[in-house]
């Protein structure tokens, strides 16, 4: 029983998993604990984990945003095209962020004010926003940005940490405070638990949904620009398929796909689990596809095992009674 | 008017609008592209639509029951590659056996999804997101850079895409197109008239009510994933036949295309409404745009943007127009019930008895 109750606390299970993975990594490879590797571990997926923060809010509120990776692409393409046309880079960056917010606004307006299912709307966005990006850059790769922009993605800013990692840490703290310590968090949870009840208790549900999607778009654009800074070049197929990785991170963190439950601590732990698992497998010479398979299996097991445990537990109780 | 309303449901109006849009699209492309109305154009569009239609049929069944299957692309890729491999090493494998292998493989992979969703009670989006990665990962891990090329395949398979069954009005009907169309019709009739088919709708419309009246919900959900897997397996065989050259990345992205076809084809993403024929029309619409924009060379890069807009439009029209129409239909039904019963004339009496 005590083991079962510990299993029921999702964060506890993730923590155990994390310790096991880190333990295995440390014993398997001597390079694992090096500062360079630890920074690298975050740096290689930094864009995804930044977006996972807003995705957590969206999924807790009972919606989903499949278009994030395409918004990343759209924003970088807007930036690249403007830069190519001779616009100053800071202005191009601002326009890129605005394009991300606009994409989010379109998603949000369709979901909140037209009452369309977010799965379908953002699926359209997934295809459409990348399409707009493709129109802008066609099949070229646009590079040659000023040195300070490239440095933004690569060079250490505080100690060994790059700007992207610092940005992630700041955003993580902000999201945690917003979700756990402010009325915004309570609104997000109440919308996910029971939308009608939230509406009747005076939450401006439509407005809140709109804002959530705008922030998701804005954040995706920001992450896209960091990605462009890290790669130093922009193409129409960048960040292809990232949405699935991001959603996996959030769901593995114990956030219910139906909304209303889950917390940022779980998502933080799940991010650490996934990054360490990938890093460890990478150091042990396991290829990217096998890594993706293992994470896919982990995602299914993360929901299946507690379900089965509950089922067996219930049957056990039924037999005793 | 009452007669018409009784015969046509709002969903059918939505499908008719889609059919009209397809005709408008074809006519406008015809005026833009020289020699558009040709056998070649038809074959190009039809053989592309054939594969996506077969997958979309399975996806429709899944979506009807309030689920979603994101693993179809990986299942199609796996079966295409494995069957290709089998044929490359055993040239004497009979065509029927090759199809059987493809369908069996697909069914097995669909069964894994189905068991976890139905009895493991894991949300379908999580399960199929996971198996999307797992199936593809196993394939890539096992065969890596291996490529199946046309010259390794037996002649009957290489010639299959150009095999013409019969010709209607100058248009060649290829064997694969006929096969896909047969699948669509069979499943359309089955979901419209068979007991099991109606049960899909019941589960999708109201799962609690369906369980209360005694429908085996878990078994039905399992069946749906089984069928989706089997159809993806069949699509894998068609994929191999059409392209000949197959890598381990084959069929990547078909999951989103099939969901797009289903959504454009007026199948409600929340289950319970829509038809297999509608999903095929959705596939035809997307396929027509895809192939025709390719011919208008400047617009190649516009394809995805237009497709995204089309899906959004389809979903919006679904929700806005259909909701109004349903209310109109419902209000008219109420009026009919509330109206005092007129004295029966001879003809009406006969109808009442019937």
**Which H helix or E strand runs over B134?**
helix B124-143
| For B133, nearest residue in chain A (alpha carbons) | A293
Name chain B contacts of A130, Cβ cutoff 8 Å.
304
Closest CA to A227 of A73, A62, A52: A73
Question: Phi and psi at residue B168, in whole multiples of 5°?
Answer: -115, 120
Which residues of B lie inside 8 Å of A (Cβ-Cβ)? Answer: 68, 116, 120-123, 125-127, 129-134, 136-138, 140-141, 256, 259-260, 263, 269-270, 301-309, 311-312, 315-316, 319-320
Closest CA to A15 of A248, A200, A269, A191: A269
Q: What is the pLDDT of residues B74-106, one digit of tens each?
A: 999 999 999 999 998 888 888 899 999 999 999
Tokens 């055993």 belong to B90
Which tokens hold the place of A213?
């999607």
pLDDT of residue A245: 85
Read off the DSSP letter of residue B148. Answer: B
pLDDT of residue B204: 92
Question: Which has more pLDDT, A29 or A213?
Answer: A213
Read off the DSSP letter of residue B244. Answer: S
Read off the DSSP letter of residue B152. Answer: G
Tell me the CB-side half-sphere exposure of residue A19, using CA atoms within 13 A: 5
Question: Phi and psi at residue B183, in whole multiples of 5°?
Answer: -60, -45
pTM: 0.85
Alpha helices in chain B (DSSP H): 2-7, 10-32, 39-64, 72-89, 95-118, 124-143, 155-159, 175-193, 195-205, 207-212, 217-243, 254-264, 276-295, 303-338, 346-353
Sorted by where each begins, the domain ranges of chain A are: 11-320
Name chain A contacts of B260, Cβ cutoff 8 Å.
123, 127
Across the interface, whether the CB atoms of A131 and B131 are under 8 A apart is answered no
**pLDDT confidence band for B171 (50 / 70 / 90):** confident
Instruction: Look at phi and psi of residue B339 and say left if phi exceeds 0, alpha if psi is from -120 to 50, else beta.
Output: beta
Question: Phi and psi at residue B120, in whole multiples of 5°?
Answer: -85, -10
**d(C-alpha B80, C-alpha B91), whole Å:** 16
Does A138 reach chain B within 8 Å, measured CB to CB?
yes
Question: What separation in angstroms does the CA of B255 have from each of B68, B80, B144, B149, B276?
Answer: 10, 15, 22, 24, 17
Does A180 reach chain B within 8 Å, measured CB to CB?
no
| For B301, nearest residue in chain A (alpha carbons) | A135
- Between the two ends of chain B, the Cα-to-Cα distance in Å is 22
Q: What is the pLDDT of residues B282-309, one digit of tens each?
A: 999 988 888 888 777 666 678 788 888 8
**d(C-alpha B123, C-alpha B133), whole Å:** 16
Which tokens hold the place of B21?
């849009």
Closest CA to A250 of A205, A190, A195, A295: A295
Q: How many helices (H) and strands (E) does chain B have?
A: 15, 2
Residue A94: count of CB within 10 angstroms of its CB = 14
pLDDT of residue A1: 40
- Between the two ends of chain A, the Cα-to-Cα distance in Å is 16
pLDDT of residue B221: 95
**d(C-alpha B308, C-alpha B304), whole Å:** 6
Question: Phi and psi at residue B174, in whole multiples of 5°?
Answer: -75, 155
Instruction: Look at phi and psi of residue B219 and say left if phi exceeds 0, alpha if psi is from -120 to 50, else beta.
Output: alpha
Which tokens hold the place of B288?
């027509």
| For B318, nearest residue in chain A (alpha carbons) | A116
**Which H helix or E strand runs over B173?**
strand B171-174
**d(C-alpha B338, C-alpha B348), whole Å:** 18
Q: Which residues pair with B166 in a beta bridge?
A: B173
Instruction: Give the angle A275-A71-B295 at the CA atoms, nearest 5°.
Output: 120
**pLDDT confidence band for A89 (50 / 70 / 90):** very high
Give the number of residues written for chain A: 321
Query: How far apart are the CA of B95 and the nearest CA of chain A, in angstroms?
Result: 32
Of A98-107, A294-303, B9-18, the range with the highest mean pLDDT is A98-107
Question: What separation in angstroms does the CA of A277 have from each of A222, B175, B228, B236?
Answer: 26, 47, 32, 32
Mutate to test the interface with B, among A64, A65, A124 (most CBs of B within 10 A): A124
Does A310 reach chain B within 8 Å, measured CB to CB?
no
Tokens 């009608």 belong to A196
Average pLDDT over residues A108-119: 91
Across the interface, whether the CB atoms of A125 and B134 are under 8 A apart is answered no
Which tokens hold the place of B106?
């697909």
Residue B102 C-alpha from the chain's centroid? 18
Query: How far apart are the CA of B319 and the nearest CA of chain A, in angstroms?
Result: 7
Does B349 score more than 70 pLDDT?
no
Question: Phi and psi at residue A255, in whole multiples of 5°?
Answer: -80, 130
Which tokens hold the place of B147?
């490529």
Q: What is the pLDDT of residues B194-247, one digit of tens each?
A: 999 999 999 999 999 999 999 999 999 999 999 999 999 999 999 999 988 898
pLDDT above 70 covers a percentage of chain B that reads 93
B156 three-class SS = helix
Which tokens hold the place of A52?
């996972």
Q: What is the pLDDT of residues B304-334, one digit of tens each?
A: 888 888 888 878 877 777 778 778 877 777 7
User: According to the CATH classification, is domain A11-320 in 1.20.1440?
Assistant: no
Kindly indicate whether the ipTM for this predicted assembly is greater than 0.85, answering yes or no: no
pLDDT of residue B340: 60
**Which H helix or E strand runs over B167?**
strand B164-168
Q: Which stretches does DSSP call E strand in chain A?
A: 142-143, 156-158, 161-162, 233-234
Across the interface, whether the CB atoms of B315 and A247 are under 8 A apart is answered no
Residues 6+ apart with CB under 8 A from B131: A296, A300, B71, B74, B109, B112, B113
Q: Which residues pair with A142 in a beta bridge?
A: A234
Sign of CA dihedral A172, A178, A180, A184: negative
Tokens 């605005």 belong to A98
């Amino acid at each position: 029983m005590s083991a079962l109750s510990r299993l029921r606390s999702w964060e506890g299970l993730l923590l155990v998993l994390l310790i096991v993975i880190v333990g295995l990594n440390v014993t398997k490879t001597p390079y694992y604990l090096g500062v360079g590797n630890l920074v690298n571990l975050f740096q290689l997926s930094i864009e995804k984990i930044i977006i996972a923060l807003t995705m957590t809010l969206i999924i807790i509120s009972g919606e989903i945003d499949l278009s994030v990776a395409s918004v990343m692409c759209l924003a970088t393409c807007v930036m690249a095209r403007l830069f190519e046309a001779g616009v100053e880079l800071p202005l191009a960056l601002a326009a890129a962020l605005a394009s991300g917010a606009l994409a989010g606004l379109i998603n949000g307006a369709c979901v909140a004010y037209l009452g369309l299912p977010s799965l379908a709307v953002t699926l359209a966005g997934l295809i459409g926003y990348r399409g707009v990006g493709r129109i802008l850059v066609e099949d070229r790769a646009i590079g040659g940005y000023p040195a300070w922009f490239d440095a933004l993605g690569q060079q250490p800013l505080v100690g060994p940490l790059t700007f992207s990692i610092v940005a992630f840490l700041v955003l993580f703290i902000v999201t945690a405070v917003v979700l756990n310590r402010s009325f915004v968090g309570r609104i997000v949870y109440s919308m996910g638990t029971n939308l009608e009840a939230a509406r009747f208790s005076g939450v401006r549900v439509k407005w809140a949904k709109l804002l959530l999607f705008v922030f998701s778009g804005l954040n995706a654009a920001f992450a896209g620009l960091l990605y462009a800074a890290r790669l130093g070049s922009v193409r129409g197929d960048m960040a292809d398929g990232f949405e699935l990785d991001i959603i996996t991170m959030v769901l593995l963190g114990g956030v219910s796909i139906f909304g209303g439950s889950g917390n940022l601590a779980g998502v933080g732990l799940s991010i650490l689990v996934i990054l360490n698992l990938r890093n460890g497998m990478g150091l042990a010479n396991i290829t990217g596809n096998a890594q993706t398979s293992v994470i896919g299996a982990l995602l299914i097991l993360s929901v299946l095992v507690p379900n089965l445990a509950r089922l067996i537990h219930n049957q056990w109780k039924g037999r005793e009674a | 008017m009452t007669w018409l309303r009784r015969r046509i449901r709002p969903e059918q109006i939505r499908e008719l609008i889609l059919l009209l849009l397809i005709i408008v699209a074809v006519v406008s492309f015809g005026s833009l592209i020289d020699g558009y109305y040709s056998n070649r154009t038809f074959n190009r569009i039809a053989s592309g639509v054939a594969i996506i239609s077969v997958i979309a049929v399975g996806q429709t069944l899944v979506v009807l029951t309030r689920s979603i299957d994101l693993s179809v692309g990986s299942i199609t890729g796996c079966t295409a590659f494995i069957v290709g491999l089998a044929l490359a090493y055993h040239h004497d494998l009979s065509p029927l056996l090759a199809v059987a292998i493809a369908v069996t493989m697909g069914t097995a992979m669909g069964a894994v999804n189905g068991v976890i969703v139905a009895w493991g009670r894991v949300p379908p989006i999580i399960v199929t997101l996971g198996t999307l990665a797992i199936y593809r990962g196993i394939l890539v891990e096992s065969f890596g850079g291996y490529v199946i090329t046309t010259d390794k395949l037996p002649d009957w398979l290489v010639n299959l895409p150009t095999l013409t069954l019969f010709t209607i009005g100058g248009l060649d009907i290829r064997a694969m197109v006929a096969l896909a169309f047969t699948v669509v019709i069979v499943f359309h009739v089955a979901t419209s008239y068979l007991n099991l088919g109606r049960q899909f709708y019941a589960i999708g419309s109201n799962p609690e009510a369906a369980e209360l009246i005694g429908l085996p919900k878990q078994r039905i959900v399992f069946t749906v994933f089984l069928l989706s897997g089997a159809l993806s397996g069949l699509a894998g065989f068609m994929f191999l036949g059409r392209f000949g050259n197959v890598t381990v990345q084959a069929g990547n992205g078909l999951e989103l295309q099939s969901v797009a076809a289903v959504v454009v084809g007026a199948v409600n993403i929340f289950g319970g409404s829509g038809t297999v024929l509608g999903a095929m029309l959705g596939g035809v619409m997307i396929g027509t745009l895809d192939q025709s924009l390719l011919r208008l060379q400047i617009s190649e890069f516009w394809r995805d943007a237009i497709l995204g807009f089309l899906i959004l439009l389809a979903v919006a029209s679904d929700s806005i127009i259909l909701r109004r129409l349903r209310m109109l239909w419902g209000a008219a039904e109420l009026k009919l019930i509330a109206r005092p019963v007129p004295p029966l004339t001879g003809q009406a009496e006969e109808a009442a008895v019937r």
